[in-house]
Amino acid sequence: MSEQSKLISRRDLLRGVGVAGVAAAAGPVSILSTPDAAAAAEPAAAAAQAASAAPREAFENLTAVEADLLEAIVDRLIPSDSLGPGAREARAAHYIDRALGGALASSRQAYAAGLAALDRYAHASRGKGFLELSASDKDSVLMDVESGATTPGIFAGSSAQFFTLVLNHTRQGTFGDPYYGGNSNFVGWDLLGYPGVRTMVTPADQKALEAGQLKPNHRSAYDYEGFNKATARVESHAGDMKHGD
């Protein structure tokens, strides 16, 4: 992957989302700082193995072709590396697919048109479909889409706008509260060293956190009675709603 890539970089993506962004998505938290992300590499790697061993979950709103393309894209936006698992293991594509039937329903047509256009551009510029390209060629296609340097007429609108849409949703699916279908096994929070949603933090907890010794609290905000999200779709995802260590 080119070092000149502006956004297709784990370091830049983590800098962009930040721990504050995760805390906002997860709910209130009193802890003031987090340990270095590298400290979470070992538990994150274990979580990645568990995620890869699980059977693939069916998609609800995207077609099979769209789902495969989106999985391949998010895998390049936040790839698995030495720090731990990435967006694929976090099931970011499943988060997006699920949300396209609810909170992100207005983006459904943008995904249908954008994914098809991206694959057409891969064929036109690299001679193969996006799924058939090497990792470096996938990155170069995505950089063209990001910068708006795609062949005129292939994207109905701005390719850069589509890239930003997918990137933002990938971040949500990787680092947001797992209640919504992403951040599987809390791999995104572990990657950031995020200590988890806590309704009360003792001085001992704060000291342990600052020393990098605080055990992550693997619980969704909605595991606490004080948090209520009436618009979350849970009726067909009872198995997804079980959290905790």
Q: How far apart are the C-alpha atoms of 3 and 9, rounded to whole Å?
A: 8
Q: How far apart are the C-alpha atoms of 60 and 95, rounded to whole Å?
A: 10
Compute how many other C-beta atoms are within 10 angstroms of the C-beta atom of residue 75. Answer: 19
Q: Which residue has the tokens 């995505």?
A: 142
Q: What is the tens place of the pLDDT at every residue in 157-168?
A: 899 999 999 999
What's the mean pLDDT in 122-129?
A: 96
Q: How far apart are the C-alpha atoms of 196 and 199, rounded to whole Å?
A: 10
Banded pLDDT at 26 (limits 50, 70, 90) = very low
Asked whether residue 57 carries a pLDDT value surpassing 70, the answer given is no
Looking at 13-17, 86-90, 211-215, 241-245, which range is the least confident one? 241-245
Cβ atoms 169, 98 nearer than 8 A: no
Banded pLDDT at 243 (limits 50, 70, 90) = very low
Asked whether residue 81 carries a pLDDT value surpassing 90, the answer given is no
What angle do the packed helices 159-175 and 135-147 form, to 10 degrees?
A: 120
From residue 204, how far is each of 208, 211, 225, 232 by CA, in Å? 6, 11, 24, 34
> SS in 3 state form for the chain?
CCCCCCCCCHHHHHHHHHHHHHHHHHCCCCCCCCCCHHHHHHHHHHHHHHHHHCCCCCCCCCCHHHHHHHHHHHHHHCCCECCECCHHHHCHHHHHHHHCCCCCHHHHHHHHHHHHHHHHHHHHHHCCCHHHCCHHHHHHHHHHHHHCCCCCCCCCCCHHHHHHHHHHHHHHHHHCCHHHCCCHHHHHHHHHCCCCCCCCCCHHHHHHHHCCCCCCCCCCHHHCCCCCCCCCCCCCCHHHHCCCC
pTM of the model: 0.71
Looking at 6-10, 74-78, 131-135, 184-188, which range is the least confident one? 6-10
Q: What is the tens place of the pLDDT at every residue in 197-229?
A: 777 778 887 887 778 778 888 888 887 777 766
Share of the chain above pLDDT 90, in %: 47
